[in-house]
Amino acid sequence: MDPKKSDKELINELTLRFEKNNALLKEQHSLLNELQKVNKKLIASEGLKSNFLSNIRNEINNPVASILELSKNISEGTLSVDAVKKFASLIYSETFSLDFQLRNIFASAEIEAGESIVCPVSIKLPSLIETILLSFKHQIEKKNIQIFVSTSIADDENFCSDPEKLHLILSNLISNAVQFSREGTSIEIKFEIENDQFIFSVLDNGMGISTEEKEIIFDRFRQIEEGSTKNYGGHGLGLSITRALLELIDGEIKVESEKNVGSFFSICVNEAKESTIEKDIYSTDGNDFIFVDNDSLVF
Amino acid sequence: MLTETINKHYLFPSTLFAERDAHVIDTILGSCVAVCLFDTKLKIGGMNHYMLPLWNGEGLASPKFGNIANEKLVEKMIRMGSHPQNLVAKLFGGANQINSSINIGDRNIQIAKEQLHAFGIKTIKESLGGSIGRKIRFNSSTGEVLMKFLTKP
């Protein structure tokens, strides 16, 4: 330190250093807090993962047991035609929910393995959404839910994205809306294409989500209600998959909700540019890599 | 590098790719990091492309995060028959966006180096950091990587 400095200057200098030190300590403290939070979360997540099989056992076992029993009854050949129809329709709806669950499980395994590949093609959105709604017809009718769909997209308008991923994203959003809606209520679905973006929203009159719960609904294996007494099925993968798939196809998801009133989920997806994919991504001529300037290197 | 006769794969962020067959793997990196692993004995390779250094328990445990992406890539190479001691690494990316204060790029680089060190895998080539994005093309059967800086923003 400069010996010529006055006492006052020295004190000022020291105060400054103390303040700096304190700030550093504070920062360290908050970082540690953060770390502890993350650590807790990771422990919880790993715990949920190891309980995954036992958690989903019912989800898989119950439908399989009903399908076995129903099909056995049908194959015995003693049922009336009406009974066969009823049983077949039950088998269909059990198999549908099983298939949906399995598709989610496989999708999450694929994403976690980093092997989910994006294949954009031209899609006719109205027919895609109609197909999905039709597939949920059973559940929608069972709960006596009315669906209102509004769009200004023409039937023959094309949108370029990955149809398989979009299918699973929209299925999850619609499935959630149906599942968490009270019986006899309505669901509003809107979709548009604006500025090369696909915007889709679904509004339900269901159980809703509180602000704190908004944090956890996108985490894997997490549901607002947990444990064996929960009222709703599923295994808490749907929204975590939805968000991860949206990231892959260049989209995002927003949620607005009020507890016991309903939820509003909206997604927007940027159109994949077919031309850039062809030209940029699968460039066959290798021209992009001819080393004419200093910017280019071989490693 | 002849690219007409060889399989091509475009590597999207948050994914990884490693197969026995020869492939040319393309990707574009900003603050993301790509680790290219090459087995000098078996002449096979794989690559990942991650966006953030560490998974914090949110969402899916996907290779969007360095700690998961690097582990999964090494695991995959081992499943294809590689021994870690035969693997060499080439690292790319981790540019820092000028307006970002948290230096995601630097942290992405750091995690790759730490993990590769822990696996005992030597990094033989790298082009990391700076502020300009990169485009790379990795030939998984020769280990050769072509790189080009993207035009300045």
**Quick one: tokens of A249?**
């196809």
Q: How far apart are CA A148 and CA A204, in angstroms?
A: 11
Q: Which residue has better confidence, A45 or A237? A: A237
Would you say residue A274 has pLDDT above 50?
yes
pLDDT of residue A236: 77
* pLDDT at residue A230, rounded to an integer: 60
DSSP annotation string for A109-168: HHHHHT------EEE-HHHHHHHHHHHTHHHHHHTT-EEEEEE---TT--EEE-HHHHHH
| Confidence bin at A228 (pLDDT 50/70/90) | low
Residue A284 banded pLDDT, cuts 50, 70, 90: very low
Question: Residue B43: is its pLDDT beyond 90?
Answer: yes
Whole-number Å distance between alpha carbons of B66 and B31: 12
At A1 the pLDDT is: 53
Question: What is the distance in angstroms between the Cα of A222 and the nearest Cα belonging to chain B?
Answer: 10
φ/ψ of residue A230, rounded to 5: -65, 150
pLDDT digits (tens, 9 = 90+) for A125-174: 999 999 999 989 888 998 999 999 999 888 888 899 999 999 999 999 99
Structural contact between residues A172 and A248, judged by C-beta atoms closer than 8 angstroms: no
Question: Among residues of chain A, what percentage have pLDDT more than 70?
Answer: 86
Q: Is B145 on the interface with A (CB under 8 A)?
A: yes
Q: Do residues B138 and B45 make contact, with C-beta atoms less than 8 angstroms apart?
A: yes
pTM surpassing 0.80? no
Give me the pLDDT at residue A5, please. 76
Q: Is the pLDDT of residue B22 over 60?
A: yes
Average pLDDT, integer, range B16-29? 94
**Partner residue opposite A299 with nearest CB, options B15, B68, B127:** B127
pLDDT higher than 90, residue A206: no
Digit-coded pLDDT (tens) for A177-187: 998 899 999 99
Lowest mean pLDDT among A45-54, A87-96, A263-272: A45-54
Average pLDDT over residues B3-29: 89
Cβ neighbours of residue A125 closer than 8 Å, sequence gap 6 or more: A151, A153, A157, A159, A191, A193, A198
Q: Is A298 within 8 Å of A231 (Cβ atoms)?
A: no
A and B: number of Cβ contacts within 8 A: 103
Encoding tokens for residue A202?
Answer: 């679904």
pLDDT at A54: 73
At A41, which helix (H) or strand (E)?
helix A7-50
Mean pLDDT of chain A: 84
Taking CA–CA distances from A108, the nearest residue in chain B reads: B60
Alpha-carbon distance B135 to A58, whole Å? 48
Distance of alpha carbon B83 from the chain centroid: 18
pLDDT confidence of residue A231 = 62
Q: Please answer whether residues A128 and A200 qualify as being in contact, where contact means their C-beta atoms are separated by less than 8 angstroms.
A: no
Give percent of chain A above pLDDT 90: 46
Q: With the C-alpha atoms ordered A293, A298, B3, B5, is the resulting torsion angle positive or negative? A: positive
Is the Cβ of B61 closer than 8 Å to some Cβ of chain A? yes
Range with the lowest mean pLDDT among A165-169, A227-231, B40-44, B108-112? A227-231
Would you say B125 and A299 are in contact if contact means Cβ atoms under 8 Å apart?
A: yes
pLDDT band for position B152 (cuts 50, 70, 90): low
**What is chain B's mean pLDDT, rounded?**
90
pLDDT (mean) for A38-66: 79
**Tokens at B21, concatenated:** 């067959």
Residue in B with minimal Cα distance to A277:
B10
- B93-117 burial, b if ≥16 CB within 10 A, otherwise e? bbbbeeeeeeebbbbbbebbbebbe
H-type alpha helices, B1-153: 66-79, 104-119
Residue B86 has pLDDT above 80, yes or no: yes
B57 vs chain A: nearest CA distance in angstroms? Answer: 5
Q: Do B135 and A284 touch (CB under 8 A)?
A: no
Residue from A244, A263, A264, A243 nearest A253 by CA: A243
Residue A78 has pLDDT above 80, yes or no: yes
Can you tell me the ipTM of this complex?
Answer: 0.77
